[in-house]
Structure 1
Amino acid sequence: MKPLASFASNVDKSLGRLHPELESPTRTAYARDRDRIIHSTAFRRLKGKTQVFVANEGDYFRTRLTHSLEVAQIARSLAHSLALDEDLAETIALSHDLGHPPFGHAGEDQLHASMAPWGGFDHNVQTFRVITRLEVRYPAFDGLNLTWETLEGIIKHNGPVSHHMQEPSWKSIVDFNAQWDLRTDTFASMEAQCAAIADDIAYNNHDVDDGLRAELFSIDDLMQVPLIGPALASVQKDWPTIDSRMLRLEGVRRMIGTMMSDVLTETERRLKADDIVTDEDVRVAKRPMVAFSKSVYDDLSRLRGFLFERMYKHYRLNRTRSHAKRTLNEMFNLFMTEPDTLPTEWFQRVCSKDTETARARVICDYIAGMTDAFAIEEQRRLFSIGG
């Protein structure tokens, strides 16, 4: 193993855990965090949650779980190339979507609307609630008791969040931050930044792959689209008789390589230009260090525009989103007016709360934890005679 860069997160200098524990004799603290994520209930449920297509629409489309695994692989590769702590980058990548509700962003939008009178809903905050409160697996504490660096990276992987701290949906972060300061006004570690940009690389590439597989657009449609068009053209040049399936796979593979190479080059340029030496320099910098170059960022914006028009706004996905929103809205309203229709454990939790806001948050937690299939079946049981 090569030595870590001076600006990497050094696990030996970790700020530790909120609840002190004996160190593991076989794993570093960051590797232990990763393992706690992998063994969590919320992580397992990601296999049944929408990425773009509802989880039961096909065996080959990405789910929230396979997306998280792809993000983790890319984050770890970036961290390795930059001589960072690979375990920390992987941990943050695996964790970043734990708070997503069923049906992807449609589910998040509906829960936010349903919870508007009681603080709203944000999947990043929900992720934090999952790892600090809702996962109950240890007798000594609620949550997973992850290290400071992992918690910081999960909530700040997209940059400083101090501007969110006045938002009602961020109350859980405000409360935790009063107990243990996560420095919400600074950037997170290089490892967290690797996880964030790995998310961008992963979803843009696999959405192209899934969109082609679903026949929402064709390879010909993509030939003039930045990043993917040149990748496909280069494959056709090297393999003139290649079939469409292999062209799709190799084109996406090359696009991933192009984006990762650009990130590494731009990151090295920023580190040098901003005279970054330590991990503290990374946190107090004026901009993120792990980033795309301007040219690739602009190309990526055009690719996202294509996907938005041809995939995310496609009538098939619009129908799914509409159904998803109705499903969650109906359940939420019923549970608020008739909480005794909740499963016993959740009903007891609601009864233990003394404010309507707290009761609404319990109901939100119950729905947010559902897989797509469970939400569909729960809605059927609640609203179908004999269900």
Structure 2
Amino acid sequence: MRASYASDPALTRGRLFPEEESHFRSPFQRDRDRIIHASAFRRLKHKTQVFVEHEGDYYRTRLTHSIEVGQVARTIAGTLGLNQELTEAVALAHDLGHPPFGHTGEDALEELMAPYGGFDHNAQAIRIVTKLERHYAEWDGLNLTWETLEGIAKHNGPVEGEIPWALAEYNARHDLELHTHASAEAQVAALSDDVAYNNHDLHDGLRAELFSTDELAEMPILDTCFAEVDRKYPGLNYYRRRHEALRRFFGVLVEDVISVSQANLKELKPQRVEDIREAGRMMVQFSPGVWKDLKVVREFLFHRMYRAPDVVETRRIVTQMVRDLFPLFMAQPELLPKQWRKDVEEIAGDQTALARIVSDYIAGMTDRFAIQEHARLLDGPGLDVLRGSGPGRVRQG
């Protein structure tokens, strides 16, 4: 049964461009489906999560990560009596704005775009779903509901201080009330992201042999998980043992979020979704104890996985690729594909507008395509140099 503070599709604030709604899908279901069918969503298949895309078929990509986040989010949302379709839509869209090479690529674009308003992947996700997806006859973007756009924009909390230009540009047309918290559904999507990547980065780090099972078994939360497995399955095969322990780690995080969020909601006693937005704090949270323990796990991953010596070298290589491509397209926009050159023709030499077009183009590249274009246009080293640099771990956490 849906709670009174859940987002009700029948009461949606609607879409920027009015359209006839479906007879058999709710507005939030349609949002989710449009996100899944978007070009940007498909490209997540070949975008870095932790490992550069070429390095192995078993490592997570942005696409598999987003699917895992969506699964966690639906579970938590259903237990809290929230709208699962809206929660899943926000979860699946939350990484659409990431450029190639994960946070390394984002750092490079942020530096290059500093004179032109900067770069922010959350704001870029809004730009993608409101402008850059150009498939429909009557509008640019996906024409998502206000609630889904709100969730994408501020699932991590109110947008305070200087608003990224890409978000400010859309917000001027369609007020997303950036000063408030988002719905509980969007907050669930945000915490589900933390649950998913803290769990699967441990999986991938073990597979890459960046650290050992014994090291994990000594860490907070994980020590209890391994001890429970050893009691229940003495002498269990090495690979099954660590999988069972990480399953339990995953369960601890999900159960903690549910328990704490239920307590927060019971204390607030919200009667409508606006009560969640106006609460002045996040309703969906980890407990202080689990959050403290997770910081230890994240610090371990930061040093042992995201900042391992060969990681730093891979970061250097792919950062240089982005730094090379950006000024090349700025100087020679005729090298852009035909559909992008049409946008350049409309800006009459405006350098800021040109930089934003170039940034949009580079941000939309997959890891593989960015490497190939660098090799084609600049006689770069291509995949060979990355294969020679060891596992290319470029995520920052």
Paired amino acid for 1:281? D
For residue 375 of structure 1, the aligned residue among 348, 370, 374 is 370
Native 8 Å contact 1:227 1:303 kept in 2: no
Partner of 1:50: 48
For residue 178 of structure 1, the aligned residue among 172, 176, 179 is 172
Paired amino acid for 1:226? P
Native 8 Å contact 2:183 2:276 kept in 1: yes
Q: Aligned-pair distance for 1:337?
A: 1.6
Native 8 Å contact 2:97 2:124 kept in 1: yes
Q: Give unmatched runs, 5+ long, in structure 2.
A: 383-397
- Mapping 1:220-259, distance limit 5 Å: 220-259=214-253
CA distance in 1, matches of 2:227, 2:106: 37
1:51-105 per-residue CA deviation (whole Å, 9 max, x = no partner) reads 0100110010000000000000000000010111000000000000001000000
Native 8 Å contact 2:134 2:141 kept in 1: yes
CA distance in 2, matches of 1:4, 1:11: 11
CA distance in 2, matches of 1:176, 1:383: 35
Q: Aligned-pair distance for 1:273?
A: 1.9
For residue 281 of structure 1, the aligned residue among 275, 282, 303 is 275
CA distance in 1, matches of 2:241, 2:327: 47
1:332 is the counterpart of 2:326? yes
Native 8 Å contact 2:15 2:145 kept in 1: yes
CA distance in 2, matches of 1:383, 1:181: 42
CA distance in 1, matches of 2:43, 2:287: 35
Native 8 Å contact 2:180 2:280 kept in 1: no
Native 8 Å contact 1:53 1:317 kept in 2: no
CA distance in 1, matches of 2:53, 2:92: 18
Paired amino acid for 2:204? D
CA distance in 2, matches of 1:284, 1:302: 32
Partner of 1:127: 125
Partner of 2:295: 301
1:365 is the counterpart of 2:365? no
Native 8 Å contact 1:7 1:279 kept in 2: yes
SS at match of 1:5: coil
TM-score, reference length from structure 2: 0.94
CA distance in 2, matches of 1:383, 1:201: 40
Native 8 Å contact 1:225 1:306 kept in 2: no
- Mapping 1:53-92, distance limit 5 Å: 53-92=51-90
Native 8 Å contact 1:350 1:363 kept in 2: no
For residue 316 of structure 1, the aligned residue among 285, 310, 319 is 310
Give runs of ≥4 in structure 1 deviating > 4 Å: none
1:316-368 per-residue CA deviation (whole Å, 9 max, x = no partner) reads 22122111101111011111122222223323322321310000110111110
Q: Give unmatched runs, 5+ long, in structure 1.
A: none
Q: Name the stretch that deviates more: 345-354 or 326-335.
A: 345-354
1:187 is the counterpart of 2:156? no
Partner of 2:266: 272
1:160–1:29 Cα change, 3 Å? same
Percentage of identical aligned residues: 52
CA distance in 1, matches of 2:23, 2:309: 54
Partner of 1:106: 104
SS at match of 1:18: coil
Q: Aligned-pair distance for 1:237?
A: 1.8
Partner of 1:350: 344
Q: How many residues are paired up?
A: 381
CA distance in 1, matches of 2:170, 2:330: 27
Paired amino acid for 1:182? L
TM-score, reference length from structure 1: 0.96
Partner of 1:146: 144
CA distance in 2, matches of 1:202, 1:357: 37
CA distance in 2, matches of 1:345, 1:34: 27
Paired amino acid for 2:366? T
CA distance in 2, matches of 1:164, 1:296: 31
Q: Aligned-pair distance for 1:299?
A: 0.6
For residue 191 of structure 2, the aligned residue among 187, 192, 197 is 197
